[in-house]
Amino acid sequence: MKLETYTRRWRPAELPRRPDGDDRSNGEARPVFRFAPSPNGPLHLGHALSAFLNFDMAQSFGGRFLLRIEDIDLARTREEHVTGIFDDLAWLGLSWEEPVLRQSEHFATYQAAAHTLLKLGLLYPCFATRAEIAEASKRAPGARDPDGAPLYPGLHKRLAKEEVAERMRRNEPFALRLDMDQALDVLALRTNARRVTFCELAADGTGEEIEADPAVWGDAIIVRKDTPTSYHLACVVDDARQGITHVVRGRDLYAATGLHRLLQVLLGIRRPVYHHHRLLTGPDGRKLAKSAGARPLAEFRDEGVEPAEVRARVDLGHQLPTIPANDRS
């Protein structure tokens, strides 16, 4: 089957390079940090912690602070939440560089990245529904990915080209999944290893080299059925093209770093430094989340709470990592 058959709905463009023409993750003289919320609900104290950390580290080390709106999920995105993000961060005393990148305005960029992976033979179409995947997983229960979902059982991975063509002719929706076995083969050719490593920055400024196995994610979805990208792909591509040198995010995304590092290698992207901060939890011990009804920051603002009190509530006093002098670029 021709590659164009999989991308008939897209017009892949060349992946943009960094503004300075240098794709190195540490190519700028100043560290670059980002806060990247999704506008599918109001910000809460957990978001405040992450935003404060990124902003404070940028301020402390003469770096840049960027805001990115991760709104690839058009069905759940609400403009009032985008406005709320700006209002909440401004109330907290944070400022950021303009223009703000909105992922929904850059689908062609992610399509180009997917096209690169397709040319490498690393993606395949998956027509399976959630119900079909769940049923197959019940019949043959096995391992789960770090998010707790059953690993993809391989439905449609070996479909005949003729069947794929017929399903596409009928406009059946499909996702594009990463062929993990093939991807690890490419990884081994490029790095002489089937695992990846990343540098995790500790609070005292020391960096620990962490080894991760991307295979724990199985054949992950790289392009969703309902939008021409995925969180993992868009995040990796945007961190690279925005020149992010330090990815500071919640501990709940620690496991995703292995998959992100794999995509960086496959796409020829140099790695940033990572710091995964603690998560704020509610009375039940579970992390604060929009879906669980975490109290919005706007409510604190409306009640007259001062930003300094919000800082106190998220307990930033001991949290701000340091960056060694030779790691600030």
Sheet of strand 64-69, all strands in order from the earlier edge strand to the far edge? 32-35, 64-69, 101-102
Angle at 50 (CA atoms; ends 145, 277), nearest 5 degrees: 55
Provide the sign of the torsion angle of the four alpha carbons 207, 211, 217, 218, taken in this order.
positive
- Residue 223 pairs in a beta bridge with 176
- Please report, in tens digits, the pLDDT of each residue of the chain (329 residues total): 333 444 433 333 334 343 333 334 444 469 999 999 999 999 999 999 999 999 999 999 899 999 999 999 999 999 999 999 999 999 999 999 999 999 999 999 999 999 999 999 999 999 999 889 888 888 767 788 999 888 899 888 989 999 999 999 999 999 999 999 999 999 999 999 999 999 999 877 789 999 999 999 999 999 999 999 999 999 999 999 999 999 999 999 999 999 999 999 999 998 999 999 999 988 888 888 877 778 999 999 999 999 999 999 998 755 556 555 444 44
DSSP 23-83: --TT-SSS-EEEE---SSS--BHHHHHHHHHHHHHHHHTT-EEEEEE----TTT--HHHHH
The CATH number of domain 3-327, selected from 3.40.1260.10, 3.30.1370.10, 3.40.50.10860, 3.40.50.620: 3.40.50.620
Q: Is the pTM above the cut of 0.75?
A: yes
How many whole angstroms separate alpha carbon 198 and alpha carbon 217?
Answer: 17
- Domain chopping of the chain, boundaries: 3-327
